[in-house]
Structure 1
């Protein structure tokens, strides 16, 4: 139905990936997605950062809210965007293993020493007790094990001339962590 309307009306469909806080201030409206890893590591950064529970095969595409807002505002004024679906996503997303490493480096100043096999992590996260131990709700577990792919070609072609690009996660992870430290409960 939306695809039909898109052909008749000058609309742009925006499809952001997993949205996190502002890349400059870290400000967020809720903690989910990548915040599960941040809060997990914040429990005991020196200890938990040693054992990476991320998956080397699955990418978690994270974008900061300020990128999404700027992209949508820019596209609203660009006639070339009419009738297009634009996936607002990181063109080079990190695996959950890499996300874990970047967060661990920021929180504990070091990388992990051991990587737990993904099937073992998945099984253990589905135990009822794991939610209270890890802070990861069982309903969120699939996000860390289902590979998601976003086609960012339209976004890159439309936003590139305006200088709008998704920043790399490593460039704003400290802002996210600082905000969580100042506001542990949202």
Structure 2
């Protein structure tokens, strides 16, 4: 029997991954969840089971074990007994936990990214010494490219570079630890670098609306009275959450994926231009019955000046949203690309491929609007 330990099971990627794991009757899954108490832990587990549509008497529940802790705490914040049990028979580690807030202090971002990476690697070493470890899936991000020019290759990045935010920097620093564990200790790790993760390609479902959805709200013009910056030919690389989860689940059983880096992304040729996404978003809002203001594009420098002035003058309840815009504009303003040829070749070898955004984006936007702005 395979026994998985998954961090970040309540996040976008983790919540899509766990059902793929428990679908195999020969698999047990231990989930690390933050909770204030044991009672809160049960409540959080029930929320996840509702998301997974698992009935109270469903058989997979007997193979799911929630553990109360924190991925960045020593020993994951588990009791000595729980950590010993975890170390005794776990065969697979999947590290999905991450704080994706872009405006954290560097100290807080490092505590989350580096602290959790250190704990996962410590457990991996212990399991390897005990002879039970088969595979580790480490979920990073294409954001480790930072402000590096050109297309990011599927390899370790040695070049010095600046970063758009503390999230990118801390994840890049965490990869340094993982690289050493692979090259010096030969731990069986695959590094997955997803791009911007959005809803399921089949029905648009996702457990949390994250950065992509903020960008869509922004592109609708509703938050800026229709005024938007002209970002030229900049593209956005998006990837459905089920595609990411499927890659991680498959890699966990593929010994040939050891030591490799996969960019779980659409790639430069199939990313969507922001100027293409903008009318699609606006049309989706209108179709849903939401008024959007007439659009006006301004040079980015002019928009930035207006944004700063609006932030100072805006009511308190809108000031916070406006104040975060520069973080996203800095990210969106770069023409980034992410090479995914290794990933595509790995998919092709098993007869799989990537969906195109034209086929799933309408469903993703419809789901978002239905849930965030339910019709009366």
Return the TM-score normalized by structure 1: 0.77
Residue number among 317, 336, 344 corresponding to 1:148 in the alignment: 336
CA spacing shift, 1:18–1:161, aligned 2, 3 Å:
same
Worse overlay, 117-126 or 162-171: 117-126
Residue number among 273, 277, 280 corresponding to 1:99 in the alignment: 277
Whose radius of gyration is greater, 1 or 2?
2
Partner of 1:117: 299
Partner of 1:132: 318
- Measure, in 1, the Cα distance between the counterparts of 2:180 and 2:299: 44
Mapped contact 1:60–1:143 kept (Cα < 8 A): no
Q: Post-superposition shift, 1:107?
A: 4.0
Question: Secondary structure of 2:301's partner?
Answer: helix
Q: When you count strand as a share of all residues, which structure comes out higher?
A: 2
- Measure, in 1, the Cα distance between the counterparts of 2:355 and 2:305: 33
Residue number among 164, 172, 179 corresponding to 2:360 in the alignment: 172
Q: Post-superposition shift, 1:147?
A: 2.9
Structure 1: where are the runs of 5+ without partners? none
Worse overlay, 9-18 or 140-149: 140-149
Residue number among 187, 190, 199 corresponding to 1:9 in the alignment: 187
CA spacing shift, 1:58–1:21, aligned 2, 3 Å:
same
Q: Paired residues, what number? A: 179
CA spacing shift, 1:24–1:14, aligned 2, 3 Å:
same
Return the TM-score normalized by structure 2: 0.41
* RMSD between aligned residues: 3.2
Structure 2: where are the runs of 5+ without partners? 1-176, 288-293
CA spacing shift, 1:108–1:10, aligned 2, 3 Å:
same
Query: 1:87 and 2:257 equivalent?
Result: no
Q: Post-superposition shift, 1:71?
A: 1.2
Residue number among 206, 210, 213 corresponding to 1:35 in the alignment: 213
Worse overlay, 12-21 or 34-43: 34-43
Worse overlay, 141-150 or 88-97: 141-150
Q: Post-superposition shift, 1:88?
A: 0.6
Using CA pairs below 8 Å that are at least 6 residues apart, which structure has the higher relative contact order? 1
Q: Post-superposition shift, 1:67?
A: 0.7
Mapped contact 2:198–2:206 kept (Cα < 8 A): yes
